[in-house]
Amino acid sequence: MKPRIIPSLILIAASLTANCFALTPITERFKGTELNATRWYHYHGENSKLQVANGKLNFVISTQPTHDEFASLELLTSQPGYNENWQVVVDLANTAKLGQDVGCGVMLFNFADRSDYLYVESYGRSGLSAGMLVNGTHADNARFSLGVGVPKGALRIRFNSETKLLTFYLSATGYAAGYDWKKIGTVSPTGKGGKVNGNWRMNSEGKFGIQLFGFGDAKVESGKLTFDNFKLSDF
């Protein structure tokens, strides 16, 4: 992820407040033509946005941008807890064939301090990458990547309340065909025990925020970068 994009998002989103104090299961199929504004907060750039069309959430950059574009949806109605077992699953597709110039993915952050966050993003066949930041700065050795990605598949992030590890899985198939999960890495918000580690200083009352995002510095038509079948649940 291009580091100059996210700090501005954190500042803009910092005024948001949680609507609940623990995990509320959420399933979102992105049907219809409008986003549920009660459930999602939409941040978008000058020429970019996330929009519902053809039964999916689409990241679109309407014209050739003169600078990096970014858009995100933040889940307002559920913030899973530090002492809960939970997982996020979402279908991801990136068929733009623009390499690392455009991507889409999932961001998790410490709800008490939005400068602590991590992201995982898909470049389609060009691969997948993830990173973790503490106080807005990448922690030591806090990135990992896969050189081979999937243009259409699914991502799962699972948090274990006992180990305090976030485990990432990738499937080359989505909800309709059935998932085939492959573990790709672990992240620890306690600063130890994961493939990537960073201490977010969370306590027993801590919560995680969730965002879906897209970014790019090239024109992106609807249908090229999409999300579908979002689900937040316990396990």
Ordered by start, the domain boundaries in the chain are 6-233
pLDDT for the residue 7: 45
Instruction: Give the pLDDT band (50/70/90) at residue 3.
Output: very low
- pLDDT digits 0-9 by tens, 93-108: 999 999 999 999 999 9
- pLDDT digits 0-9 by tens, 4-38: 445 445 555 545 555 555 689 999 999 999 999 99
Q: Comparing 211 with 185, which gets the higher pLDDT?
A: 211
Nearest to 186 by CA among 198, 176, 173: 198
Q: Count the Cβ atoms, other than its own, within 10 Å of residue 40.
A: 20
- The overall average pLDDT reported for the chain is 90
The secondary element (H helix, E strand) that includes residue 184 is strand 181-188
Nearest to 163 by CA among 119, 118, 194, 199: 194
Per-residue burial over 91-117, b = 16 or more CB atoms within 10 Å of its CB, e = otherwise: bbbbebebeeebbbbbbbbbbbbbbbb
CA angle 166, 118, 14 (to 5 degrees): 120
Spatial contact of 121 and 107, defined as CB atoms under 8 Å apart = no
Q: Which residues pair with 103 in a beta bridge?
A: 215
Would you state the structure tokens that stand for residue 148, as one six-digit string? 């081979």
pTM over 0.85: yes
DSSP label at 174?
-
CATH of domain 6-233: 2.60.120.200
The secondary element (H helix, E strand) that includes residue 187 is strand 181-188
Mean pLDDT score, 205-234: 97
